[in-house]
């Protein structure tokens, strides 16, 4: 996919963001992700999935933020643009369902360590 123009979503802050392409792992079910979804990366595959604070495969650590809405099919992976650096508004990000305040706070700290600053 080639991006011809870019308009920052409402969750992007004042610092210009940096993006790259990332493989999104299939989970065996069709999944619709929205822009601003906080992602973790499975250590064994290097593929991104929705942040999973209770996991122990690498996806429990916040690593990326999804740039655009993306559909991940039940069979096969998808590729989407992700933010790897920038400033973001916490309220506009999509956190995993059931995440506690402590888990979200930990994810914000993990993102900051990667250059993704959440205000």
Q: Is 113 within a domain? A: yes
Judged by phi (left if over 0) then psi (alpha if -120 to 50, else beta), residue 74 lies in alpha
7 found inside a domain: no
5 part of a folded domain: no
pLDDT in the model for residue 1 = 46
Residue 53 belongs to a domain: yes
Whether 9 maps to a domain, the answer reads: no
**How sure is the predictor about 16, in pLDDT bands with cuts at 50, 70 and 90?**
confident
Q: What is the tally of structural domains in the chain? A: 1
pLDDT at residue 17, rounded to an integer: 86
- 3 has a pLDDT exceeding 60: no
Is residue 58 included in any domain, yes or no? yes
Q: Residue 38 and residue 42: Cα distance in Å, rounded? A: 13
Q: What is the CA radius of gyration of the chain?
A: 13
Indicate the average pLDDT of the chain: 91
Domain assignment of residue 66, yes or no: yes
pLDDT at 73 (0 to 100) = 96
Locate tokens 């989970």: which residue? 27
**Following DSSP, what letter does each residue of 85-111 receive, concatenated?**
EEEE-GGGSBPPTT--HHHHHHHHHHH
Query: In this structure, is residue 62 part of a structural domain?
Result: yes
Report the CATH number at residue 44.
2.40.300.10
**pTM of the entire predicted model:** 0.89
**Per-residue pLDDT tens for 63-95?**
999 999 999 999 999 999 999 999 999 989 999
| Range of the structural domain that residue 33 is part of | 18-118
């Amino acid at each position: 996919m080639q991006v011809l123009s870019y308009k920052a979503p409402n969750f992007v802050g004042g610092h210009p963001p940096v993006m790259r392409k990332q493989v999104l792992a299939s989970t065996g079910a069709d999944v619709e992700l929205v822009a601003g979804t906080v992602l973790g990366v499975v250590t064994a595959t290097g593929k991104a999935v929705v942040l999973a604070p209770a996991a122990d495969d690498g996806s429990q650590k916040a690593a990326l933020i999804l740039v655009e809405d993306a559909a991940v099919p039940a069979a096969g992976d998808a590729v989407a643009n992700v933010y790897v650096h920038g400033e973001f508004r916490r309220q506009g990000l999509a956190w995993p369902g059931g995440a506690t305040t402590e888990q979200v706070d930990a994810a914000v700290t993990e993102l900051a360590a990667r250059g993704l600053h959440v205000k």
